[in-house]
Amino acid sequence: MSRIVYVNGDYVPEEEAKISIFDRGFLMADGVYEVTPVMDGKLLDYPGHVARLHRSLDELQIANPVGDDELLKIHRELVRRNDLDEGLVYLQVTRGAADRDFVWPQDATPSLVLFTQEKMLEDSEGPKHGIKVISQPDLRWHRRDIKTVQLLYPSFAKMQAKAAGADDAWLVEDGFVTEGTSNNAYIVTKDGTIITRNLSTDILHGITRASVLKLAAEAQLKVIERPFTIAEAQNAAEAFATAASLFVCAVIEIDGVTLGDGKPGPVARRLREIYIAEARAAAM
Ligand code: PLP
């Protein structure tokens, strides 16, 4: 079934959607994106995603294509028109079309594209059984706090993981894990402390991460934000990842080493339950 997508002011069937070949998103990866999860036809963690979109646009001096009220309306309209109960809304803003040049135009009209993806989130396979990860060098640029559409290296690293029989790669820089290819990374020590890398330009400031850390604190779980190594992760009681498309997902194997009994651990399971309940209650 054809989806209805949004392109620069119009709702059109996906086969009719068009963007210029001179769009700088296409030619230079000059654009940013957001992915908002949908459950029960409602948007989860939406204010966080919009706030991060503003930050990404500001950092790259890309003009904001629409106001916040209009953006929320577009999200809701796409969910409605596609009858989306569970899945994702993908949003992309690029600097717009201009003759190809490394110097970006000051006056380009930004392009705005949104589409929906149906996806099982609550009962998806990864979180049910836990995922396996391998380590890969983090060869991305150093402004990973900006959610740009330059996803070739994360995609490449994930393909390396798939080729090795794993589900994802945890990226390592200077001996420490930064994050997953499209998720934030955590371990749980044997005394129950949750460890995840501190925020900086080294990692994306995950919206799910922010919500999960707040909920962990409310549940009296101890959290330390600092880098950790693959060896420390392999010796941990548990590991997990967070992302809009995963919520909280246990990691059960790291570079061939099984964690615990090879099943999702109690901290990851509990945080997943709490996150889903809270995000659902606050959905809009
Ligand atoms: N880190 C990276 C590199 C990502 O691409 C993502 C999500 O796409 C995340 C972390 C998780 O962020 P969020 O929880 O906002 O989805």
269 — pLDDT class (breaks 50, 70, 90) = very high
Residues with catalytic function: 147
pLDDT in tens, 216-251: 999 999 999 999 999 999 999 999 999 999 999 999
Closest ligand 1 atom to Cα of 151: 5
Q: What is the mean pLDDT of residues 37-60?
A: 98
Residue of 138, 144, 183, 240 to mutate, ligand 1, most atoms within 8 A of C-beta: 183
Question: Residues lining ligand 1, judged by CB closer than 6 Å?
Answer: 35, 179, 182-184, 204, 206-209, 242-244
DSSP 81-140: HTT-SSEEEEEEEE--B-SS-SSPPSSPPPEEEEEEEE---TT-HHHHH-EEEEEEE--S
Q: Whole-number mean pLDDT of the chain?
A: 97
CB atoms closer than 10 angstroms to residue 59: 15
Indicate if the alpha-carbon torsion angle 120, 121, 127, 128 is positive or negative.
negative
Q: Which residues pair with 224 in a beta bridge?
A: 195
- Taking 90 as the threshold, does the pLDDT of residue 1 lie above it? no
Q: How far apart are CA 68 and CA 179, in angstroms?
A: 29
What spacing in Å lies between the alpha carbon of 243 and ligand 1's midpoint? Answer: 5
Q: How far apart are CA 57 and CA 31, in angstroms?
A: 8
pLDDT in tens, 137-154: 999 999 999 999 999 999
27 — pLDDT class (breaks 50, 70, 90) = very high
The confidence score (pLDDT) of residue 195 equals 98
Query: Computed over its alpha carbons, how large is the radius of gyration of the chain?
Result: 19
Residue of 43, 55, 89, 204 to mutate, ligand 1, most atoms within 8 A of C-beta: 204
Residue of 36, 117, 145, 182 to mutate, ligand 1, most atoms within 8 A of C-beta: 182
What spacing in Å lies between the alpha carbon of 99 and ligand 1's midpoint? Answer: 31
Q: How far apart are CA 139 and CA 91, in angstroms?
A: 25
73 — pLDDT class (breaks 50, 70, 90) = very high
- Taking 90 as the threshold, does the pLDDT of residue 187 lie above it? yes
Q: What is the mean pLDDT of residues 89-110?
A: 97
59 — pLDDT class (breaks 50, 70, 90) = very high
What spacing in Å lies between the alpha carbon of 218 and ligand 1's midpoint? Answer: 23
SS3 274: helix
CA distances from 280 to 70, 190, 210, 242, 275 (A): 23, 30, 16, 16, 8
Percent of the chain with pLDDT over 70: 100
**Residue 41: left if φ>0, alpha if ψ -120 to 50, beta else—which one?**
left
Q: Which residues pair with 134 in a beta bridge?
A: 169
The confidence score (pLDDT) of residue 185 equals 98
The confidence score (pLDDT) of residue 282 equals 97
Nearest to 27 by CA among 120, 90, 111, 101: 101
Indicate if the alpha-carbon torsion angle 216, 32, 177, 153 is positive or negative.
positive
What spacing in Å lies between the alpha carbon of 77 and ligand 1's midpoint? Answer: 24
- Taking 80 as the threshold, does the pLDDT of residue 167 lie above it? yes
